[in-house]
Amino acid sequence: MALMRRRMERCGYRALSYSYPSMRLTLTENAERLAEFCRNLNAPRVSFVAHSMGGLVVLRMLGCAARIGIGRVVLVGVPCAESFAARRMVRLPGGRAALGRSIPEWHARDRGDRLDRFEIGVIAGNLSVGLGRLVAPDLPGPNDGVVSVAETHLPEMRDSIVLKVSHSGMLVSKGVARQACEFLRHGAFADGEGVRQEP
């Protein structure tokens, strides 16, 4: 996320990277640690730009976000609804261990999260290149090579956009960073780039 962080800074934000042990800790444990990290920032408002599983950590954290002023949230290539590739991966030898403890917990959640009070924007990709195609060659399209566009759908999202970018390419994409900044500023993505989805 280093390049993304620098681009957020160029947009005028104080940007910090946060890493988490997805293999060792559960999704809830990682979410609680993220919440504590945010509380220690002593910032009146914290916004998030999260990629892939990091977005699941942020979504779970929003449920325990007491005493944190939550700004806007941009989810980039996040399998909010499901993960076809992850379901396929657990069938492979060593696949369950490789996924860590966070994805299975997200799949097993009760889906009672209260997310409608947050401003959430979703960026999906439709350049189907990535390791997910090796694990799941029949990954439903359109997809970014790991996550399908349909899997990024979140009922509570305020806006969403599909860009011609792969799952890993999102991290280095100027277009993704530009749209993330746009949503953080205005609560909506810019027109004229990518394909809009209906929330």
Q: Where are the domains of the chain?
A: 19-196
Q: What CATH number is given for 19-196 in this structure?
A: 3.40.50.1820
Region of poorest pLDDT, from 104-108, 174-178, 187-191: 104-108
Cα–Cα distance measured from residue 40 to residue 56, given in angstroms and rounded to the nearest whole number: 21
Query: At residue 198, does pLDDT exceed 60?
Result: no
Residues in the chain: 199
Mean pLDDT of 4-25: 91
Tell me the whole-structure pTM to 2 decimals: 0.90
Please name every residue paired with 50 in a beta bridge, in sequence order, or none if there are none.
Answer: 75
Mind giving me the DSSP string for 48-101?
Answer: EEEETHHHHHHHHHHTT-TT--EEEEEEES--SS--HHHHHHTTSTTHHHHHTT
Q: For 29-86, how does the pLDDT look when each residue is reduced to its tens digit (9 = 90+)?
A: 999 999 999 999 988 999 999 999 999 999 999 977 777 899 999 999 999 988 877 7
Reported as a single tens digit per residue, the pLDDT across 72-118 is: 999 999 999 888 777 777 666 666 666 666 666 766 666 556 788 89
* CB of 108 closer than 8 Å to CB of 82: no
